[in-house]
Amino acid sequence: MNGAYSPVPELNALKEFQDGLEGGFFSPGFELFEYGRDVDWFCGGAPDAYLDRLVPFAYATSSGSYYALWRRDDRTDLAALPVVFFGDEGDLQIEACDLRELFRLLSVESDDPEERTRLAPARQEYLAWLDRTFGLAPFDSADDADGAALAEHTRRFAEWVAEFASEDLLDQVLGALGLERPAL
């Protein structure tokens, strides 16, 4: 990677922005960590085929939840891969259709007035960076994400896990995704 943070130009740009904040935060709990680092979720017995298709890259919350790219296919543009949220309490969801949608979700202002005040300066810098770097406007709310596309990614993620998961793991994943096992 020639000293770059990752093989994903969008993440490299975000890493440069984050480093410029010198420890400050622009979105509640979000923080890039070592690209592709080993993290575990409830998939303890999952085969390498599962884990190799998930590329963790950032904390999503201050309590240990994280984001990972899901290599759902062999596309070369890794920024176009869906982003999966792995919650520290077993939550699981397709968070964004791609990195740019995640970046826009990270722009949503916190509902907590204290957090809004604390993050305000860095958030304003982030909004300017988002526009300058990608020409993207912030989302007004998380509901602005493409719900139909997220639902389709969620369905495909569940189908993918079903290809190799044990019955117990599949039940866990389906439950975390809010899906039920289809009746046979």
Strand partners, 58: 32, 67
What is the per-residue pLDDT across 18-49, written as a single tens digit (0 to 9) for each? 999 988 899 999 999 999 887 765 555 666 76
**In-domain check, residue 3:** no
* Full domain range(s) for residue 49: 9-177
User: Which is higher by pLDDT, 180 or 116?
Assistant: 116
**In-domain check, residue 47:** yes
Residue 184 pLDDT more than 60?
Answer: no
| pLDDT at residue number 41 | 59
| pLDDT at residue number 49 | 66
User: Which is higher by pLDDT, 42 or 59?
Assistant: 59
- Specify the number of domains making up the chain: 1
Q: Strand, helix or coil at 122?
A: helix
**In-domain check, residue 171:** yes
**In-domain check, residue 136:** yes
**In-domain check, residue 182:** no
Q: Put the strands of the sheet holding 83-86 in their side by side order.
A: 31-32, 54-59, 66-70, 83-86, 92-96
In degrees, rounded to 5, the angle at the alpha carbon of residue 101 between the alpha carbons of residues 18 and 156 is 125
| pLDDT at residue number 180 | 78
**In-domain check, residue 16:** yes
Please say whether the beta carbons of 83 and 58 come within 8 A: no
User: Which is higher by pLDDT, 177 or 124?
Assistant: 124
Residue 3 pLDDT more than 90?
Answer: no
What is the per-residue pLDDT across 96-113, written as a single tens digit (0 to 9) for each? 999 999 999 999 998 999
Residue 89 pLDDT more than 90?
Answer: no
What is the per-residue pLDDT across 143-153, written as a single tens digit (0 to 9) for each? 999 989 998 99
Closest by alpha carbon to 68, among 87, 84, 52, 89?
84
| pLDDT at residue number 181 | 72
**In-domain check, residue 183:** no
The pLDDT confidence band at residue 16, using thresholds 50, 70 and 90, is very high
**In-domain check, residue 31:** yes
The pLDDT confidence band at residue 5, using thresholds 50, 70 and 90, is very high
